[in-house]
């Protein structure tokens, strides 16, 4: 029995240490969730915008939220024709929502046939309605209600952030905010991400991609320089901020960043810019047009009069423009902005419906339709349907600008890391279910793509192996690849040795078989890359357009304080037991040794997992007596770059206790300041921990 408990404890700890990309999204602020639900018209505040998150929710109110988060929201009338229940009059404001929910099979009355609309909703009731929204019915559960429904609710992580835990606990509006946000991120019974039916796409962390959700509502841009905030229609200090599609703060913005904003919400969307990108701001950018026969006639000026060409963010010539490139132009400065990214595969889903499509799923990924042409092409008036094989032409906003039929001899040629060989469920053009063998790879953009592939054995390709997937004449072929390079990345991250580095290069840093994250080219500035650091390099002539790295940045790991190491040998045996106790992000965790020991001591350290279990731990290197200057720790005359998520701790020498803190409090503490890094900047490292010792 003790052995079983130890195994279960170790398994639980291992799951708790998995990277965010492989666990439920846990760090989404309430303010961001509120913005998402307000944008989707699921949960809105009162006339002042207040959400009253502490209030309990009635069954009537929950039903309105439920229908508003469903594909049936458009079918709700102004009034109900009949009384849905004896205690729900067709004159009640909530009657149309109750009627719609009843007709969709989402809600039921009690054993006496009443709905009890004004009674506060319990967790069991709310969870049951939520899983019905995902396509589950009561007949799917063999156990007595609500045991099975609550078990599924928890296994899908729908309970993330929800304070109500017992089945009879009453739900607050904040509980509902967490629940309905979580619903957007989980799979339905059929396997599709539920949020896709409402026009949501998810980022690599499994969170709703806010920049994509608000893309069609963005205004701007302005460039971060001078008095740029005065051009915004709201106070920037009150805004939610995203930079390069990641959650950020106003302090994270850099000079020359390009900033857009949402029309009706205080949200900033920034991307890394440079002085050269100021030309893009000189006049409005129009288009696009696809490079096909006669495309030049659609430009408002002669191609020979083009002032300059940027292709995928890099300087180019007119002769570099290729067939099926997507071209935009400056209305006043006559500059061309050209994009060549394409995605090929079979249309798996058009969402929310062909009548008014906003997104499409191809090769297992959801893409927003960012132009009217693309939306029309996938509508019931257009030419493309579910099951068609297509090539998506991606635009400057990262969404689909246009679509073309996939030629029989087309070759998608995507390089990625094997994630799985498996059978997946699909729906054909008539919505009939079927399954197919697929290979799933994680591409250089950090997204997972699934391709039909008739593998013989599920280990034909090793998990984590580097492959190229090509689709030719309707047949998927998979081959191993190994193309590397070496060289020093210059300070502006525009070159790697003799090669140019595209500013739009897709760069994936990896550790083990399951741990990865994308990094911008600027993250490699000043790093000297050796061949054993580069698993794959993609070249377009002399320009690097994609890289897969082998643990270059160290950003995949967790960093904190090892507070205790207890090791004990078992007499007469070689085995050792004990535990590591550590603080990561202010959370104390314990990892049993169970015979596996790491060369780590008390103090700032690095924890490395492969997505499944702990692989290694090591201490960080100390810099004593440092000062902080902007984004650097200064030691003597040398500057060390602070990590974007550097952790600040205060160590009280009197009670020997570490406390997670902030930069401001660490500087105000007045103690000896030290910085701890994993690797030098030249090797891709960063300062991970800043520590003030007091007392």
pTM value?
0.54
Instruction: Compute the Cα dihedral for 141, 144, 145, 147 and give only its sign.
Output: negative
Least confidently predicted of 216-225, 277-286, 401-410, 674-683: 277-286
Across the range 529-555, mean pLDDT stands at 92
Q: Is the CB of residue 420 less than 8 Å from the CB of residue 440?
A: yes
Cis, bond preceding 288 (omega within 30 deg of 0): yes
Is residue 31 classed exposed, middle or buried when 0-12, 13-18 and 19+ CB atoms within 10 A define those classes?
Answer: exposed
In this structure, the number of other CB atoms found within 10 A of the CB of residue 567 comes to 11
Question: What is the reported pLDDT for 178?
Answer: 96
Question: What is the reported pLDDT for 78?
Answer: 67
Question: What is the reported pLDDT for 570?
Answer: 62
Question: 3-state class of 484 per DSSP?
Answer: coil
Which position has the higher pLDDT, 331 or 109? 109
Task: Give the C-alpha separation, 340 to 395, whole Å.
Answer: 8
Per-residue pLDDT at 296 exceeds 50: yes
Question: 3-state class of 328 per DSSP?
Answer: strand
Closest CA to 161 of 37, 46, 270: 37
Question: What is the reported pLDDT for 590?
Answer: 92
Q: Is the CB of residue 485 less than 8 Å from the CB of residue 529?
A: yes
11 band by pLDDT with thresholds 50, 70 and 90: very low
Across the range 108-135, mean pLDDT stands at 93
pLDDT tens readout for residues 372-421: 999 999 999 999 998 888 889 999 888 999 999 876 545 457 899 998 88
Question: What is the reported pLDDT for 22?
Answer: 32
Task: Give the C-alpha separation, 680 to 687, whole Å.
Answer: 8
Question: What is the reported pLDDT for 206?
Answer: 86
Tokens at 288, concatenated: 């696009």
Across the range 592-615, mean pLDDT stands at 87
Per-residue pLDDT at 215 exceeds 90: no
Q: How far apart are the first and last CA of the chain?
A: 45
Which position has the higher pLDDT, 18 or 544? 544
pLDDT tens readout for residues 222-262: 888 777 888 788 999 889 999 988 889 998 998 778 889 98
pLDDT tens readout for residues 636-658: 999 999 998 999 999 999 989 99
Per-residue pLDDT at 544 exceeds 90: yes
Tokens 């974007």 map to which residue? 644
Tokens at 515, concatenated: 């741990």
Task: DSSP letter for 113, please.
Answer: S
Which position has the higher pLDDT, 689 or 271? 689
pLDDT tens readout for residues 336-363: 999 988 888 788 889 998 898 999 998 7
Across the range 314-329, mean pLDDT stands at 90
Mean pLDDT is highest, among 117-126, 329-338, 499-508, for 117-126
Tokens at 244, concatenated: 């390069």
Task: Give the C-alpha separation, 192 to 514, whole Å.
Answer: 22
Q: Is the CB of residue 327 less than 8 Å from the CB of residue 337?
A: yes
Per-residue pLDDT at 184 exceeds 80: yes
Residue 128's H or E segment, with its range, is: helix 123-133
Per-residue pLDDT at 16 exceeds 60: no
**High-pLDDT (> 90) share of the chain, %:** 50
Question: What is the reported pLDDT for 412?
Answer: 55
Per-residue pLDDT at 98 exceeds 90: yes
Question: What is the reported pLDDT for 681?
Answer: 92
């Amino acid at each position: 029995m003790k052995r079983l408990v130890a195994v279960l404890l170790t398994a639980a700890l291992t799951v708790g240490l998995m990277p965010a990309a492989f666990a439920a999204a846990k760090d989404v602020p309430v303010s961001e969730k509120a913005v998402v639900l307000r944008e989707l018209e699921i949960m809105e505040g009162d006339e002042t915008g207040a959400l009253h998150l502490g209030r309990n929710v009635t069954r009537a109110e929950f039903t309105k939220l439920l229908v508003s988060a469903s594909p049936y929201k458009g079918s709700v009338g102004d009034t109900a024709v009949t009384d849905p229940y004896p205690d729900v009059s067709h004159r009640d404001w909530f009657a149309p929502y109750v009627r719609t929910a009843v007709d969709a099979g989402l809600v039921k009355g009690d054993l006496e046939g009443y709905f009890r609309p004004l009674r506060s909703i319990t967790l069991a009731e709310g969870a049951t309605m939520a899983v019905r929204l995902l396509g589950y019915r009561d007949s799917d559960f063999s156990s007595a209600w609500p045991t099975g429904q609550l078990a599924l609710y928890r296994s899908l992580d729908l309970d993330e952030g929800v304070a109500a835990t017992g089945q009879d606990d009453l739900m607050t509006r904040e509980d509902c905010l967490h629940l309905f946000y979580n619903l957007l991120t989980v799979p339905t019974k059929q396997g599709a991400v539920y949020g896709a039916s409402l026009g949501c796409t998810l980022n690599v962390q499994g969170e709703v991609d806010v920049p994509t959700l608000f893309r069609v509502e963005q205004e701007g841009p302005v460039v971060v320089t001078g008095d740029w905030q005065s051009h915004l229609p709201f106070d920037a200090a009150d805004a939610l901020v995203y930079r390069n599609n990641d959650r950020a703060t106003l302090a994270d913005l850099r000079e020359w960043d390009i900033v857009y904003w949402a029309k009706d919400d205080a949200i900033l969307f920034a991307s890394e810019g440079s002085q050269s990108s100021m030309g893009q701001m000189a006049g409005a950018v129009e288009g696009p047009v696809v490079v096909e026969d006669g495309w030049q006639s659609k430009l408002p000026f002669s191609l020979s009069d083009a002032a300059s060409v940027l292709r995928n963010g890099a300087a180019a010539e007119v002769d570099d423009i290729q067939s099926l490139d997507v071209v935009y132009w400056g209305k006043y400065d006559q500059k061309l902005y050209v994009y060549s990214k394409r995605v090929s595969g079979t249309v798996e889903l058009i969402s929310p419906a062909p009548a008014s499509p906003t997104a499409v799923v191809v090769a297992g990924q959801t893409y927003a339709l960012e132009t009217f042409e693309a939306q029309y092409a996938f509508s019931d008036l257009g030419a493309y349907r579910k099951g068609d094989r297509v090539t998506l032409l991606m635009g400057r906003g990262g969404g689909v600008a246009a679509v073309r039929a996939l030629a029989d001899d087309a070759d998608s040629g995507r390089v990625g890391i094997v994630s799985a060989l498996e059978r997946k469920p699909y729906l054909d053009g008539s919505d009939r279910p079927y399954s197919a063998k697929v290979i799933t790879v994680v591409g250089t953009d950090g997204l997972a793509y699934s391709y039909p592939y008739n593998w013989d054995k599920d280990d034909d390709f090793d998990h984590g192996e580097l492959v190229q997937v090509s689709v030719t004449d309707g047949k998927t072929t998979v081959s191993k690849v190994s193309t590397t390079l070496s060289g020093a990345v210059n300070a502006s991250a525009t070159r790697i040795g003799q090669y140019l580095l595209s500013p739009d290069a897709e760069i994936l840093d990896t550790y083990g078989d399951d741990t990865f994250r994308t990094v911008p080219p600027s993250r490699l500035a000043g790093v000297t890359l050796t061949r054993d650091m580069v698993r794959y390099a993609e070249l377009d002539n002399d320009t690097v357009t994609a890289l897969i790295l082998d643990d270059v940045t160290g950003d995949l790991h967790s960093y904190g304080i090892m507070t205790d190491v207890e090791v004990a040998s078992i007499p007469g045996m070689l085995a050792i037991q004990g535990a590591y106790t550590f603080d990561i992000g202010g959370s104390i965790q314990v990892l049993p040794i169970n015979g596996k020991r790491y060369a780590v001591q008390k103090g700032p350290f690095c924890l490395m997992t492969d997505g499944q279990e702990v692989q290694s731990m090591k201490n960080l290197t100390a810099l004593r007596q440092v000062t902080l200057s902007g984004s650097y720790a200064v030691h003597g005359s040398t500057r060390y770059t602070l990590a974007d998520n550097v952790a600040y701790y205060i160590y009280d020498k009197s009670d020997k206790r570490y406390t997670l803190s902030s930069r401001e409090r660490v500087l105000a503490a007045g103690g000896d300041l030290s910085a701890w890094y994993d690797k030098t900047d030249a090797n891709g490292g960063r300062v991970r921990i800043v520590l003030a010792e007091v007392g």
